A and B are shown apart, each in its own frame.
Chain A
Amino acid sequence: GAVVSQHPSRVICKSGTSVKIECRSLDFQATTMFWYRQFPKQSLMLMATSNEGSKATYEQGVEKDKFLINHASLTLSTLTVTSAHPEDSSFYICSAVAIGGYTFGSGTRLTVV
């Protein structure tokens, strides 16, 4: 089936630095990818929709200047958390639309210290 590869799986960074998370569709082209954030013991919250070749669409309350999304090719979308702070520590998951339905990356655990 369709696979989305997400890296890194875990990252620890210092407060004030930026972190980039990548999601690649391995055997299909993904014109649209979705980025979610999940805080402990909570559900997945949609942050933004990434569209190849155009600007991402952000959900209400998500700072587009803080969470930079780039979808420059049909197989790669990146989420960059800029000037990360401890409150940005969370589990980030990407998703893409494949022929069989939606497929999810394995997630990235971000810890900002």
Chain B
Amino acid sequence: SQQGEEDPQALSIQEGENATMNCSYKTSINNLQWYRQNSGRGLVHLILIRSNEREKHSGRLRVTLDTSKKSSSLLITASRAADTASYFCATDAHDGTSYDKVIFGPGTSLSVIP
């Protein structure tokens, strides 16, 4: 199962520009997380934002959360070639059981051109 959509599916920018990725989800959540994945590799946890938070910063990353619209955005400022990767949002979805499953969005493939 997947949780909503991410847009854009692919994004290509010049080094130094900002990159914005959006994520929408369907169910109520406790928190939302963003992950990065380099090609063929494991996941790197970037940032977690709780449902009662609206904005969070970590270095060049800025995440917003709008629970009324069930959406989040990830902004990477002053992008670098090393930021080239796929980015996924993930939410813990309440499904009525005793645990919350983490469901991933379809992801955005970011290419930063030197």
Contact = CB atoms under 8 A, between A and B. Distances in A.
Contacts, number: 52
Interface string B49-85: 0000000000000000000000000000000000000
The A interface, classified by DSSP as helix, strand, loop or mixed, is: strand
A94 to B, nearest CB: 11
B102 A46 contact: yes
B33 A102 contact: yes
A109 interface: yes
Contact of A93 (B33, B43, B45): B43
Interface of B: 1-2, 31, 33, 40-43, 45, 48, 88, 90, 92, 97, 99, 101-107, 109
A95 interface: yes
A45 B105 contact: no
B21 to A, nearest CB: 13
Interface string A27-63: 0000010101000011111100100000001011000
Contacts of A41: 109
A68 B106 CA distance: 26
6 contacts: A44-B104, A46-B1, A46-B103, A102-B90, A106-B42, A107-B42
Residue of B43, B103, B105 ringed by the most chain A CB atoms within 10 A? B43
B101 A104 contact: no
The 6 A-B pairs of least Cβ separation, nearest first, read: A106-B42, A44-B104, A107-B42, A43-B106, A43-B104, A43-B107
Nearest to B103: A46
Given A44-B88, A45-B2, A102-B33, A107 B102 contact: no
Contacts of A93: 42-43
Contacts of A46: 1, 101-104
